[in-house]
């Protein structure tokens, strides 16, 4: 009873440990230390709330991206639908899909598929399909809907940063509409406005009807693809402020991590998540040519310098996914 | 003394009339009526704060765009600098600039100039040049710095909407960096983060130095140009929510006005500012082929329907500019 009364006075104590799903190791200490300095007006590292920008990668950083990212699963589901259309029989890439040569296609033609797969669909239909996939699609190994593949410690970190008045941006190489729709299915991210989710944009055309504009997908994406240099460029184009903190997991995130160096604030933080837990998630090969996590913090040194904090899923995460409801 | 005590209790009374620079005419009444309904949780037209998006054009809507928009003045200043470079002698368009044939160039080649004029400059240099222009450049007729060419009643409307928890976006066809830098010079707009200013984006490249990324201008702009259809597309790409209110002054704004019809809310508001005050500002010809204000609300009917509110600068604005300090 006394405890309950006390809880009313201090938010910190009411929440207990805001990063309870993180092991008490250097990564957690570095995060908390950074945040506590940055929010303290008497500290030399203080950053006012309007400049507390944090940019976070999605695939492989906020949720599982293996064997395929949700955006890629979505592209494949569209290709499968297209492959059913009789007028497309005998034409590539649809025959290849039918023949289950998806792995080959993915490696060889993914960029072609990206915009093409949804051409002609209106954005409402795209959102509806992604929502269904997020709720009903099943991850082949974990046998749970895709929206339950977010890493609990990362969502807890997002909530902690929000509570400290950080301005959260999710920067993903995936289709922006997929990113916005998928993240809206997750309680910790649902309160963020769509503008905070920046992905690769599929070009649209617009028509005007009685109920306002209808947006149709064209068969191509807009520049820049939101990976590598594209993430730094979109930080300028779309946010217009440098982040003081950035979190990624692959070579595609290095430019985003480097952008923190432009903020001008004395204390900034760069995190790289290491996929080293084959038992609970995946252990990525060290020399993976896909660009995902080659050699930890060393990965981004060319762009972002040496001061990068490695987070180990194996050692730093007490838990990975939400305990299954089944 | 009694008045002062009372003022402490109610924000409304403390501020007096929040639209004191507007004449008591139907336009002002329609705006106040719309806002009062939208913010009242017991009203059928209520819109929660997170959906109170308003999109506002800049050139000709927030500030004077004649004889040239500030973005255009900036392009010309860059061309003049380029024209001084000896290695460019004898080449177009630089010779034409030198020969003062700017009017011809503007009409014939403006799109070519847009991205080209700043190619090779880094973004910090661009911002510095725009800031100097905003503070020291002089409007040829009104003889005041460009940052003092904002319409006071429109800035008062912006402040009123902010006070009512509207989420302000400025959508301009001008160079996005010019828009952000110019508006940051105006007290009423300076508190808005850069992400709230969406313009036509000049493509950049990035290099990494000791102090983070440096962005250089390429000689082209990114798709979409933020006019007409581009404004509707950027509402989806960049905001991801439909506005409930939109304010423009030209054919370039019709798609933005039409986007309000997609919000799904019962009450939305579309304003078109009419330049009909040749004495205090400019009276645009009715059949102006530049696309700026042809025939009032009828201008946008094809996209946005008939329910458009005309605002007359002559009849609705008590004052246009800040009284000159000189």
- Sort strands B202-209 and B212-221 into parallel, antiparallel or unpaired: antiparallel
**Is A266 among the domain residues?**
yes
- A255–B212 C-beta distance less than 8 A: no
**Is B133 among the domain residues?**
no
Residue A295: the pLDDT is 53
One domain for residues A258 and A273: yes
Res B38 pLDDT > 50: yes
More confident residue, B56 or A298: B56
Question: Quick one: average pLDDT of B130-149?
Answer: 97
**Is B25 among the domain residues?**
yes
Residue A79: the pLDDT is 83
Domain that residue A290 falls in: 15-67+149-316
Looking at chain A, which residue has its C-alpha nearest residue B175?
A237
- B215–A233 C-beta distance less than 8 A: yes
Which chain B residues are within 8 Å of A236, Cβ to Cβ? 123, 204, 215
Where are the alpha helices (H) located in chain A, listed in sequence order? 2-7, 11-15, 26-38, 70-83, 94-98, 102-116, 123-136, 152-163, 176-183, 229-234, 254-259, 301-304, 313-316
For residue A212, give the nearest of B195, B212, B242 by CB distance.
Answer: B242
CA of B206 to nearest chain A CA: how many angstroms apart? 7
Question: Quick one: average pLDDT of B70-90?
Answer: 83
To which residue do tokens 């800049």 refer?
A: B58
d(CA A200, CA A178): 10
Q: How confident is the model at residue A85 (pLDDT cuts 50, 70, 90)?
A: confident
- B203–A223 C-beta distance less than 8 A: yes
B-interface mutation test, from A50, A210, A213, most B Cβ less than 10 A away: A213
Residue B81: the pLDDT is 85
Residues 6+ apart with CB under 8 A from B117: B75, B78, B79, B82
B-interface mutation test, from A206, A302, A307, most B Cβ less than 10 A away: A206
One domain for residues A24 and A169: yes
**Is A244 among the domain residues?**
yes
Report chain B's terminal Cα–Cα distance, integer Å.
34
One domain for residues A169 and A124: no
- Rounded to 5 degrees, φ, ψ at A106 are -55, -45
- Cβ atoms of A192 and A168 within 8 Å: the answer is yes
- B242–A176 C-beta distance less than 8 A: no
Looking at chain A, which residue has its C-alpha nearest residue B216?
A233
**Is A45 among the domain residues?**
yes
One domain for residues A257 and A283: yes
Give the count of alpha carbons within 13 A of B284, CB side only: 23
Residue A4: the pLDDT is 39
Residue B128: the pLDDT is 98
Residue B15: the pLDDT is 57
Q: How confident is the model at residue B89 (pLDDT cuts 50, 70, 90)?
A: confident
- B212–A259 C-beta distance less than 8 A: yes
**Is B323 among the domain residues?**
no
- B233–A258 C-beta distance less than 8 A: no
d(CA B162, CA A141): 49
For residue B195, give the nearest of A195, A211, A242 by CB distance.
Answer: A195
- B206–A176 C-beta distance less than 8 A: no
CA of A199 to nearest chain B CA: how many angstroms apart? 9
One domain for residues A116 and A155: no
What share of chain B in percent tops pLDDT 90? 71
Res B135 pLDDT > 90: yes
- Rounded to 5 degrees, φ, ψ at A142 are -85, -10
Residue B4: the pLDDT is 40
Residue A106: the pLDDT is 62
**Is B34 among the domain residues?**
yes
One domain for residues A192 and A170: yes
Res B292 pLDDT > 50: no
Res A287 pLDDT > 80: no
Burial bucket for residue A88 (CB in 10 Å: 0-12, 13-18, 19+):
middle
Res B49 pLDDT > 80: yes
Question: Quick one: average pLDDT of B23-33?
Answer: 98
d(CA B163, CA A89): 59
Q: Which of A77-81, A138-142, B63-67 has the lowest mean pLDDT?
A: A77-81
Q: DSSP letter string over A215-237?
A: EEEEEEEPSSPSSTHHHHHHIII
CA of A99 to nearest chain B CA: how many angstroms apart? 35
Q: What's the whole-number average pLDDT of chain A?
A: 88
Give whole-number Cα distances, B249 to A150, B57, B272, in Å.
45, 8, 5
Question: Quick one: average pLDDT of B260-268?
Answer: 96
One domain for residues A227 and A131: no
Looking at chain A, which residue has its C-alpha nearest residue B240?
A194
Res B2 pLDDT > 50: no
Res B106 pLDDT > 90: no
For residue B206, give the nearest of A50, A213, A232 by CB distance.
Answer: A232
Residue B295: the pLDDT is 53
For residue A258, give the nearest of B208, B262, B263 by CB distance.
Answer: B208
pLDDT in tens, A220-236: 999 999 999 999 999 99
Looking at chain A, which residue has its C-alpha nearest residue B258?
A212
Which chain A residues are within 8 Å of B259, Cβ to Cβ? 212-213
Q: Which of A88, A105, A136 is the last residue of a domain?
A: A136
Tokens representing A314 are: 């194996």
One domain for residues A179 and A241: yes
One domain for residues A203 and A267: yes
One domain for residues A199 and A122: no
For residue B54, what are the β-bridge partners? B168, B245
Domains: count for chain B: 1
pLDDT in tens, A170-206: 999 999 999 999 999 999 999 999 999 999 999 999 9
Residue A40: the pLDDT is 98
Residue A2: the pLDDT is 40
**Is A142 among the domain residues?**
no
One domain for residues A121 and A204: no
Residue B79: the pLDDT is 83
pLDDT in tens, B210-254: 788 999 999 999 999 999 999 999 999 999 999 999 999 999 999
Domain of residue B28, CATH code: 3.40.50.1000
- A222–B237 C-beta distance less than 8 A: yes
For residue A240, give the nearest of B180, B262, B303 by CB distance.
Answer: B180
Contact residues, chain B to chain A, C-beta under 8 Å: 50, 123, 176, 180, 193-195, 197, 201, 203-206, 208, 211-213, 215, 222-224, 229, 232-233, 236-242, 255, 258-263, 302-304
Which chain A residues are within 8 Å of B232, Cβ to Cβ? 206, 213
Question: Quick one: average pLDDT of B8-25?
Answer: 72
One domain for residues A82 and A222: no
């Amino acid at each position: 009873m006394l405890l309950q009364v006390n809880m009313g006075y201090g938010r910190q104590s009411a929440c207990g440990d805001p990063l309870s799903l993180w092991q008490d190791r250097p990564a957690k200490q570095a995060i908390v230390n950074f945040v506590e300095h940055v929010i303290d007006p008497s500290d030399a590292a203080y950053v006012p709330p309007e400049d507390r920008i944090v940019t976070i990668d999605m695939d492989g950083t906020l949720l599982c991206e293996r064997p395929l990212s949700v955006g890629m699963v979505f592209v494949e589901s569209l290709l499968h639908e297209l492959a059913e259309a009789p007028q497309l029989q005998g034409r590539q890439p649809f025959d290849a899909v039918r023949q289950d040569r998806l792995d080959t296609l993915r490696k060889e033609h993914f960029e072609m598929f990206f915009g093409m797969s949804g051409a002609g669909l209106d954005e409402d239909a795209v959102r509806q399909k992604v929502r269904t996939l997020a709720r009903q699609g099943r991850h082949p190994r974990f046998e749970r809907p895709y929206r339950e593949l977010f890493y609990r410690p990362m969502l807890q970190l997002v909530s902690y940063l929000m509570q400290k008045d950080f301005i959260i941006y999710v920067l993903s190489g995936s289709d922006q509409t997929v990113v916005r729709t998928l993240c809206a299915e997750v309680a910790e991210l649902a309160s963020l406005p769509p503008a905070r989710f920046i992905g690769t944009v599929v070009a649209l055309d617009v028509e005007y009807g009685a109920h306002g504009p209808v947006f149709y997908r064209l068969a191509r994406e807009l520049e820049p693809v939101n990976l590598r240099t594209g993430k730094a460029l979109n930080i300028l184009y779309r946010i217009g402020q440098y982040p003081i903190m950035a979190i990624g997991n692959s070579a595609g995130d290095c430019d985003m991590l480097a952008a923190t160096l432009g903020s001008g604030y004395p204390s900034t933080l760069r995190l790289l998540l290491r996929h080293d837990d084959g038992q609970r998630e995946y252990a990525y090969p060290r020399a993976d040519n896909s660009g995902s996590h080659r050699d930890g913090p060393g990965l981004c040194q060319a762009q972002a310098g040496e001061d990068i904090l490695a987070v180990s899923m194996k050692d730093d995460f007490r838990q990975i996914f939400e305990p299954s409801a089944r």
